[in-house]
């Protein structure tokens, strides 16, 4: 629900989500949860009394893949209270909006996640855009940390449920397209489900077929998917070779080598989407937890299972932006686009979110010169240190 107060935000440096070169000293007027106007500020200008100041302002970061935060794992607390806690933990890293991500679970447990997100949106939980279902419709050849005993193919009951749910709720579904009945993919896409390939051993040719069936992107590019070798491009080669669609990527310096980060950023300037793939350790106090019988440990910023398999990430969105710039020498303006405008476009929300422009929802990430998050504005409501605060007296 939009905050109805009117106020100003002064950005010493403004990345608007599109331009690679930032603007300096911009006054943004917010009214009724929307951006009303942007004005350059000249020397000697006196700022309004009701004004928030920030060293760096960007559109509110949008995280398409976050499994947990604040010591809460969405799979194990698929309810409104759990989602409030996860969203608050995400805001510590500058995330304004998120798709809570429910990973592979028994049977049709994913329906509990859909119900929880729908309820959270109805109750106005700030920042919850929709739901990301990562599994269980995977390839057993590329399970990653996901429990293999619960991996299966889509059936008609799944398709009917998801098509109905997508009528009023944004759903991103990650699956292995080569393991599905192709008409099922077409039904889901026609109903508005955003389909990504992931945990998949698809060939480049199978990926091309999947795109024809409505698959528009891939989940955590380079991880848990078929790789590129000489005469077999795999999913990675298909994505980078065609430069089509969207791709989530984890820029933590662990999941993807800096050279591959740079390659992806150059190949997909309008399609690459920074994601955290964060687990409950983000903004939390735990360093180990159980994931369907597997003990997951956090050590030196890396989450792994008993056999060393990566188990999500310990990463915030502001760190992902900073890392992509540092590791891959990608311009900061482009890095911001990959955390804002690109994911908004992926969800078909690009006319409302992902840019700082008049008419857009008043959502911003507020950062200091070191790109540490100092606050988040979500639809006109200001959050600092995980609390919603009124910047001005009524």
Bridge pairing between strands 68-69 and 171-175: unpaired
The answer to whether 231 is annotated as binding is yes
Residues linked to residue 225 through DSSP beta bridges, in sequence order: 200
Bridge pairing between strands 364-367 and 51-59: antiparallel
Q: For residue 13, how many other CB atoms are within 10 A of its CB?
A: 17
| Domains of the chain, residue spans | 7-59+355-389, 61-346
390 pLDDT higher than 60: no
- Residue 41's Cβ-side half-sphere holds a number of Cα atoms within 13 Å equal to 20
Q: In a 3-state reduction of DSSP, which class is residue 372?
A: coil
Average pLDDT rounded to a whole number, residues 322-345: 97
Average pLDDT rounded to a whole number, residues 33-48: 89
Contact 232, 201 (CB under 8 A): no
Annotated catalytic, 155?
Answer: no
Catalytic one among 16, 63, 277, 379? 277
Q: Write down the CATH superfamily of domain 7-59+355-389.
A: Urease, subunit C, domain 1 (2.30.40.10)
1 pLDDT higher than 90: no
Q: Write down the CATH superfamily of domain 61-346.
A: Metal-dependent hydrolases (3.20.20.140)
Contact 340, 321 (CB under 8 A): no
User: What is the value of pTM for the model shown?
Assistant: 0.96
158's tokens: 């799944």
Residues 220-247: tens digit of each pLDDT: 999 999 999 999 999 999 999 999 999 9
Using a pLDDT cut of 90, give the percent of the chain over it.
Answer: 93
pLDDT at 392: 41
355 pLDDT higher than 50: yes
Q: For residue 232, how many other CB atoms are within 10 A of its CB?
A: 12
Residues 147-166: tens digit of each pLDDT: 999 999 999 999 999 999 99
Average pLDDT of every residue of the chain: 95
- Cα–Cα distance for residue pair 360/379, rounded to 1 Å: 9
pLDDT at 350: 96
pLDDT band at 2 (very low <50, low <70, confident <90, very high): low
129 burial type by CB count under 10 A (0-12 exposed, 13-18 middle, 19+ buried): buried
Average pLDDT rounded to a whole number, residues 330-354: 97
pLDDT at 200: 98
Sign of CA dihedral 94, 99, 105, 106: positive
Phi, psi of 352 (to 5 degrees): -125, -35
* 287, 288, 295, 305, 324 from 302: Cα distances, Å: 10, 11, 14, 10, 17
Phi, psi of 311 (to 5 degrees): -125, 75
pLDDT band at 167 (very low <50, low <70, confident <90, very high): very high
312 pLDDT higher than 80: yes
- Cα–Cα distance for residue pair 300/135, rounded to 1 Å: 28
pLDDT band at 114 (very low <50, low <70, confident <90, very high): very high
Phi, psi of 200 (to 5 degrees): -135, 145
Q: Do domains 7-59+355-389 and 61-346 have the same CATH topology?
A: no
pLDDT at 46: 84
Contact 232, 203 (CB under 8 A): yes
194's tokens: 């955003």
33 pLDDT higher than 50: yes
Average pLDDT rounded to a whole number, residues 267-282: 98
49 pLDDT higher than 90: no
């Amino acid at each position: 629900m939009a905050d109805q107060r009117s106020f100003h935000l002064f950005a010493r440096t403004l990345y608007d989500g599109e331009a690679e070169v930032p603007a300096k000293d911009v006054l943004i007027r917010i009214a009724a949860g929307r951006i009303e106007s942007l004005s350059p500020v000249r020397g000697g200008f006196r700022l309004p009394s009701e004004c928030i100041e920030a060293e760096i302002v960007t559109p509110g970061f949008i995280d398409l893949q976050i499994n947990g935060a604040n010591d809460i794992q969405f799979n194990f607390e698929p309810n409104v209270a759990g989602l409030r806690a996860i969203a608050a933990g995400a805001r510590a890293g500058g995330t304004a909006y998120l798709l809570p991500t429910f990973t592979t679970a028994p049977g049709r447990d994913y329906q509990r996640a859909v119900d929880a997100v729908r309820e959270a949106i109805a109750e106005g939980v700030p920042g919850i855009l929709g739901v990301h279902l990562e599994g269980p419709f995977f390839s057993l050849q590329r399970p990653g940390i996901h429990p293999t005993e619960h991996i299966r193919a889509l059936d008609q009951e799944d398709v009917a449920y998801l098509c109905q749910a997508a009528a009023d709720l944004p759903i991103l579904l990650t699956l292995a397209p080569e393991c599905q009945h192709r008409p099922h993919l077409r039904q889901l896409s026609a109903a508005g489900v955003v389909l990504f390939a992931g945990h998949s051993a698809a060939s480049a040719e199978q990926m091309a077929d999947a795109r024809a069936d409505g698959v528009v992107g891939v989940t955590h590019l380079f991880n848990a998917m078929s790789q590129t070798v000489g005469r077999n491009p795999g999913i990675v080669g298909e994505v980078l070779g065609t430069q089509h669609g969207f791709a989530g990527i984890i820029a933590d310096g662990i999941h993807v080598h800096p050279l591959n980060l740079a390659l992806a950023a150059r190949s997909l300037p309008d399609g690459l989407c920074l994601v955290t793939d964060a687990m409950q350790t983000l903004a939390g106090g735990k360093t180990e937890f159980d994931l369907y019988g597997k003990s997951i440990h956090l050590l030196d910023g890396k989450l792994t299972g008993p056999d060393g398999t990566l188990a999500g990430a310990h990463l915030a969105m502001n760190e992902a932006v900073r890392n992509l710039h540092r590791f891959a020498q990608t311009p900061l303006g482009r890095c911001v686009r990959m955390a804002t405008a690109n994911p908004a476009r992926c969800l078909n929300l690009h006319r409302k979110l992902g840019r700082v422009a008049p008419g857009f929802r008043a959502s911003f990430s507020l950062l200091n010169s070191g790109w540490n998050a100092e606050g988040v504005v979500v639809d006109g409501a200001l959050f600092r240190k995980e609390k919603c605060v009124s910047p001005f007296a009524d």
